[in-house]
Amino acid sequence: MPLYPLRGLPKQGQLWSWISFDVANQSFTLIVNTLLFSVFFQQEVVRDPARDDFLWSLTYATSMLLVVLASPIAGAIADERAWKKLSLLLTGFLCAAFTCALALIGPGRFWLAVALYIPANFLFSIGENFLASFLPELAPREQLGRVSGFSWACAYFAALVLLALTAGGMLAFGWNTPDTWRPLFVFAGLWFFAFAIPTLIFLRERPAPAGRPRTPLLRAGFRRLADSLGHVRRFRDVATLLLASLFYGTGMSVIIMFSAILAKEFGFGDIQLVLFIAVITVSGVLGTLLPTLCQDRLGHKRTTLLLLALWIVTAAALALYAWLRARSAVPAAFPLWPLWLIGNLVGFGLGSLGSANRAFVGYLTPASRSAEFFGLWGLVFKLAAVLTIPFGLAKDSWGTPAALLVLLAFLVVGGVLTLFVDERRGLATARAEDARCTASTE
C-alpha cells in the first residue's frame, strides 16, 4: 500500500475538492455537536439538571426528524436534476451562517437556541447526504473503502487542528466556561465557509442523462423515490444494510451527542474535556486506517462486523465503569484512567465504522441512483439520532449505567442484522441497475 492512499486514482482534483468539504463540516461536527454546544445548551441555556438531558436530546432529535422527512425526496430530486453540487453548497454555506449566529444566544434564551440550532444541524446533516452521494462518481467500487477512509482521516486531522485552536483560545483568552464560548461558534462557522470554497470551485457533477422529460420537481422526485421503494425486494441487501445502520447509527449519535456531557459527569474539567476529545479524535484517525488499508481487500461486511464487535465490547466496558462509579462511596474520587482507555476505543470505532459504513453503502449503490440511495442513507442515520431520545430519557430517569445498556442493545441488534447482508448479490444488483439505466438512455 503506497504512503499516499489515492495514488493511481483518476480525478485527483475532484477527489481533493470533495475531501475539502469533509474537512469543512468537521468544524460543526466537532466544535458544535461533539465538544461545546451540548454543554453550552445545558449549562447556559436550560440551567435545569432535572430535564437538561431530555431537552437536549429532544432538540437534537427534532432537527434529525426534519432531515428524516426531507432526505429521500431531496436525494431523488438531486439525482433527477443533477443538483447534488448545488444542494451540497447551499446547505453548507447556510449552515456556516447559522453556526456563526449561535454566538447570539444569551443566557436562558431557550427558544432562540432552538431556532438557530435546529436549522443549523438540519443543513449540516442533509449536506452530509449530498456529500456522500458523490462517492460512487469519484472512484471505482473496488476503491471506495480507501477513498472514504482517507477522506475521513483527513477530516479527523482537521479535527485535531480545530481542537488545538480551541484549546489555545481557551488558554489565551480565558474561554474556560460555557458563557465565554460564543467566539468559538463564530470560528466554527468561518472554518466551514473557508474550506467549502474549493468544493465550490473545483468539484464537478455528472450531468443528468440527455433526453429525459422535464417533469415538475416534486412529482419527479416522488416518482423516482416510489420506483426505488417499489423495487426494494430487488435492492434487499441495501435495505438490510440500512436497517442495520439504523440501530448501530443510534450508538454513533449517542457518542456524538453525549460524549462531552458524560465526560463532564465523570469529572473532567474544561481543558481535560478538550484533551479527552483530542484523544478520541487521534484514535479516530487511527480508526480510519482500517477501512483505508483493509476494507476493499477484507470485504465490506467482514470489516463492519469486526468494528461492531469492538463497539459492543466498548459500550459494555463503559456501562460497567458507570455502574462501578455510581456504586462507589465517593464517586468524585473514582479513578478516571479507565475512561482514557475507553475513549481510545470509542474514537477508533467512531472513525472506522463511520467510514466503513459510507463505503459499504456506496459499494451496493447504483451510480445512477447515488443521491437517492444516499438520501435514504441519510434518512436512516438521522432517524437513528431521533432514537437517541430513549437514551436521554433513560439517563434522566434511571441513571447513566441503564442508559448505556440501552445503547448496547442497539449495537447488538445492528450486528445481528448485518449478518443477513449478501455483499456479492448486492453488488450484482447495483451493476445490473446501472446497465439497465445506461441501455434506456441510448
**For 389-402, how does the pLDDT look when each residue is reduced to its tens digit (9 = 90+)?**
777 777 778 888 88
Residue boundaries of the structural domains of the chain: 12-202+222-441
Q: What percent of the chain has pLDDT above 90?
A: 25
| Helix and strand numbers, DSSP H then E, in the chain | 19, 0
Is the pLDDT confidence value at 269 over 60?
A: yes
Burial class (CB in 10 A: 0-12, 13-18, 19+), 304: buried
Band (275; pLDDT cuts 50, 70, 90): confident
**Average pLDDT of the residues of the chain:** 83
Please, are residues 63 and 122 in contact by the beta-carbon 8 Å criterion? yes
Whether domain 12-202+222-441 has CATH 1.20.1250.20: the reply is yes
Q: Is the pLDDT of residue 346 over 60?
A: yes
More confident position, 372 or 384: 384
* Rounded Cα gap, residues 249 and 387, in angstroms: 9
* CB 92 within 8 Å of CB 220: no
Name, in order, each residue with C-beta under 8 angstroms of 282's C-beta and a sequence gap of 6 or more.
156, 160, 347
| Distance separating alpha carbons of residues 141 and 284, to the nearest angstrom | 24
219 vs 388, more confident: 388
What is residue 73's predicted lDDT score, i.e. its pLDDT? 76
Contact 372, 87 (CB under 8 A): no
Give the integer Cα–Cα distance in Å for 98 and 84.
Answer: 21
pLDDT at 1: 46
Per-residue pLDDT tens digits for 77-134:
777 677 889 999 999 999 999 999 999 999 999 999 999 999 999 999 889 888 888 8
